[in-house]
């Protein structure tokens, strides 16, 4: 039985690059099981996120990999996305994703206070957590128009649907947290 108190969520740094392969392996295995496409991430890319402190890592008993997520910025830092959320199978169902989401969200707000934070997902768990953090569903034109972001969809199994719809809709739900819609008081009362 896993004791959640023994799982610590840390902002990643150079000392964590040893976890890159395990992070990517866990993400890729989960994507295969879900049968969804996935934006391709190279080990160098994830390593760079860690070095820039734009990632959080959950570690069990200070060393075993338990979960991960990182920050990406788009449209000249006007938009930020929290990507690559993964919880290792043995640590699921005990509220860890919720803790990781909260930590990476807070880190995004600290690093990019003016940015809109968005999410594009088919995952019900993620939609639920985003909703609790103050995101609302939006149509795709409200998201970043940064070509580099949308190129990430090219490796998705549903890319033809996105293309056919002129990038206005697809199977993912777009969600947005606009800081302009939230006062400091609202932020402090978010549930997770
Ligand atoms: C999705 C995932 C991150 C959830 O991690 P977790 O640590 O088990 O999630 P939590 O225990 O923190 O649960 C958070 C909430 O999501 C809900 N949830 C968890 N898994 C769910 C699922 N498969 N379907 C629907 N809701 C789910 C939980 O009930 C909880 O809601 P609550 O607050 O009402 O109780 C994990 O299963 C995972 O890594 N999956 C593979 C990768 C993936 O799908 N990533 C998301 C990419 S979009």
Q: Given CA atoms 178, 184, 186, 189 in this order, what sign does their dihedral have? A: positive
**Test site for ligand 1: of 29, 95, 119, 125, most ligand atoms within 8 A of the Cβ:** 125
- Of all protein residues, the one whose alpha carbon is nearest to atom 16 of ligand 1 is 125
- In which residue are the tokens 């190279």 written? 42
pLDDT of residue 41: 84
Q: Please answer whether residues 93 and 150 qualify as being in contact, where contact means their C-beta atoms are separated by less than 8 angstroms.
A: no
Domain 4-188 has CATH 3.40.50.2000: no
Q: Please answer whether residues 43 and 93 qualify as being in contact, where contact means their C-beta atoms are separated by less than 8 angstroms.
A: no
pLDDT of residue 35: 74
Q: What are the beta bridge partners of residue 82?
A: 71
pLDDT of residue 189: 47
User: What distance in angstroms lies between residue 166's CA and the mean position of ligand 1's atoms?
Assistant: 30
Q: Please answer whether residues 82 and 126 qualify as being in contact, where contact means their C-beta atoms are separated by less than 8 angstroms.
A: no
**Test site for ligand 1: of 81, 97, 102, 118, most ligand atoms within 8 A of the Cβ:** 97
pLDDT of residue 34: 77
Strand residue runs (E) in 12-169: 55-60, 64-74, 79-87, 116-121, 136-138
pLDDT of residue 32: 84
Cα dihedral: 107, 112, 17, 3 (round 10)? 10
Q: What are the beta bridge partners of residue 114?
A: none
Considering just the CA atoms, what is the radius of gyration of the chain in Å?
A: 16
pLDDT of residue 139: 95
- Of all protein residues, the one whose alpha carbon is nearest to atom 22 of ligand 1 is 125
- In which residue are the tokens 């991430």 written? 41
Boundaries of every domain in the chain: 4-188
Q: Write out the two tokens for 134.
A: 């103050």
Tell me the pLDDT tens digit for each residue of 35-68.
Answer: 766 667 899 999 999 999 999 999 999 999 999 9
pLDDT of residue 175: 98
Q: Which of 67, 45, 48, 49 is nearest to 57 (CA)?
A: 67
Q: Please answer whether residues 168 and 48 qualify as being in contact, where contact means their C-beta atoms are separated by less than 8 angstroms.
A: no
pLDDT of residue 183: 75
pTM recorded for the entire structure: 0.92
Residues near ligand 1 with C-beta < 6 Å? 30, 34, 85-87, 92-98, 121, 123-126, 128-129
Strand, helix or coil for residue 55: strand
Average pLDDT, consecutive stretches of 10 residues, N- to C-terminus, the chain (192 residues): 95 98 95 73 95 98 97 96 95 98 98 97 94 97 96 89 95 96 64 50
pLDDT of residue 185: 57
């Amino acid at each position: 039985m896993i004791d959640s108190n023994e799982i610590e969520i840390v902002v990643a740094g150079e000392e964590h690059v040893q976890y890159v392969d395990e992070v990517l392996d866990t993400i890729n295995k989960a994507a295969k099981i879900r049968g969804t496409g996935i934006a391709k991430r190279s080990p160098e890319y994830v390593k760079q996120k860690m070095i820039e402190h734009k990632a959080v890592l959950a570690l069990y008993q200070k060393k075993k990999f338990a979960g991960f997520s990182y920050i990406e910025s788009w449209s000249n830092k006007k938009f930020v996305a929290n990507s690559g959320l993964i919880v290792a199978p043995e640590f699921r169902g005990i509220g860890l994703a919720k803790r990781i989401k909260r930590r990476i969200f807070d880190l995004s707000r600290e690093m990019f206070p003016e940015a809109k934070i968005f999410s594009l997902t088919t995952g019900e768990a993620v939609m639920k957590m985003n909703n609790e953090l103050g995101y609302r569903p939006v149509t795709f034109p409200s998201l970043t128009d940064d070509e580099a972001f949308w190129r990430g969809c090219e490796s998705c199994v549903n890319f033809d649907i996105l293309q056919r719809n002129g990038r206005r809709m697809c199977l993912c739900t777009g969600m947005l947290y606009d800081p302009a819609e939230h006062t400091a008081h609202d932020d402090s009362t978010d549930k997770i």
